[in-house]
Amino acid sequence: MGVCKCELRCMSVCKSELRRLSKRKLAMWKKQYLSKGGRLTLIKSTLSNLPIYFMSLFVIPRKVRLRLEKIQREFLWGDMEERRKIHLVRWEVICKDKRHGGLGLRYLKDFNHALLRKWLWRFPIERESFWRRVIVGKFGEVQGGWTTREVRESYGTGLWKDIRKGWEEFFLRTRIHIGNERQTRFWWDMWVGDSKLKDLFPLLFRIAANNSAIVADLWGRQEGGGGGWEVHFRRPFQDWELEEVNRFLGYISAVRVQEGEDFLVWKIERKGTFKVNSYYRSLKEDNSPLFPEKEVWGSYAPLRTRFFAWEAVWGKISTIDMLMRRGWSMANRCNLCKENEETANHILIHCGKTRDLWNLLFSSFGVVWVLPDSVRNLLVEWKMKGMGKKRSVVWKMTPICLFWCIWGERNRRTFLKEEMTNTSLRKLFLRSLLEWSQQFVDLDLDYLSFRNLLGDRVVV
């Protein structure tokens, strides 16, 4: 570990992996017809997992990382060698988790970091292991054995050097569980709160009787498992020091020393154990606005249609206004009503043709609803209580089904120059809704019970 030879090998293994990937597998996959939803599943199950082994041992070279992300991107959007498709949604958005409107793919750089931090977690745990002894032999360890001394070699790109770089950031997400088997230093280590005691209480630190004492040595144990702090100072306190003394006692009284060894607790996981994913997530804190995750991904609509809904929420379906923003020059007129401009919100919500379907839907469910302005808000607000289980499963699918049908009609008109009448469009919508509902076998729906479910107000 830690020598350049390994990295070179990693680089070449990565490269050959890439070649294998791009040539054989992708070509094979591309031949089959796969929807974007299907491609997403494939990326998650194979493509993005391929480099994990390497990334948990090596810092993945920038070039390789970018290339891997590019392959995923192109595959997702269905680029062929000869023809590049439009990448509708930015990669940064795609890499957000689903709660924030992403697809949950990973940023390889951060994920690589998170994977390597696992070694920082294992370091204090695997005290007898060979790899740890080798590293300690080379770099030495800090008191307490939580990690090695900082690696100061200015040349070379040692593996441990790269891992050790993340220590401060890693350590902030842990706390030390104090046992009585001497490791942690009372004043110098961060073991209570987020700071070192010597920095929080500098006056007291200066007059401490033993300022390199171990935590467990300052804990007076009593019979029956109890105990208390016994910190000694070189001289009695001055009046003006008493306030700091009070604060100090209050501060450390929150911690008790327990039997056993010291160990690290991973603060951001409830169980206290390090998880690569929780570290990765903590690197990517996100305050972006609410995304209707349940309404998009949690319904029983077919995957490719959920993917379409996801694009629509981001306003990224290839409507005319979108294409124009990307530099195409064309007249913007909605092909359905032939009056307004075509935007995602118009075609999926406000267009006269679309409203006709919404009205059909609301009247058949016996619902009065004012349509919100945008696809995002529509889905965020798409909640209805007290409908009964079967009806509510169908209800959850309806907006996506409606989007899909109207988008299909829009494409028929745009590309095939064919039009459906209002009546056949309504029929198509209800028939699709029935078919989708039947996919979900628990519902056990036939045509008649479906009509009953919708209510007898349905007039097509």
Q: Output the smallest distance, CB 374 to Zn ion, in A.
A: 16
Q: Output the smallest distance, CB 407 to Zn ion, in A.
A: 12
SS3 208: strand
Q: Output the smallest distance, CB 267 to Zn ion, in A.
A: 53
Q: Output the smallest distance, CB 338 to Zn ion, in A.
A: 7
Q: Output the smallest distance, CB 353 to Zn ion, in A.
A: 6
**Closest CB to Zn ion among 282 and 340?**
340
The dihedral formed by the CA atoms of 444, 449, 454 and 459, expressed in degrees to the nearest 10: 140
SS3 253: coil
**Closest CB to Zn ion among 56 and 340?**
340
**Closest CB to Zn ion among 331 and 441?**
331
Residues that bind Zn ion (CB under 5 A): 334, 336-337, 340, 351
Q: Output the smallest distance, CB 28 to Zn ion, in A.
A: 41
379, exposed or middle or buried, with CB in 10 Å at 0-12, 13-18, 19+? buried
**Closest CB to Zn ion among 159 and 375?**
375
The HSE-up count of residue 65 (CA atoms within 13 Å, CB side) is 16
Q: Give the separation between CA 127 and CA 112, rounded to whole angstroms.
A: 24
Phi-psi region of 193 (alpha: psi -120 to 50; beta: other; left: phi over 0): left
Could you please report the per-residue DSSP string of 50-104? TTHHHHTTSPPPHHHHHHHHHHHHHHHHT--SS-PPP--S-HHHHTS-GGGTS--
**Closest CB to Zn ion among 297 and 407?**
407
Alpha-carbon separation of residue 145 from 115, 164, 458 (angstroms): 21, 13, 73
The HSE-up count of residue 266 (CA atoms within 13 Å, CB side) is 21
**Closest CB to Zn ion among 199 and 373?**
373
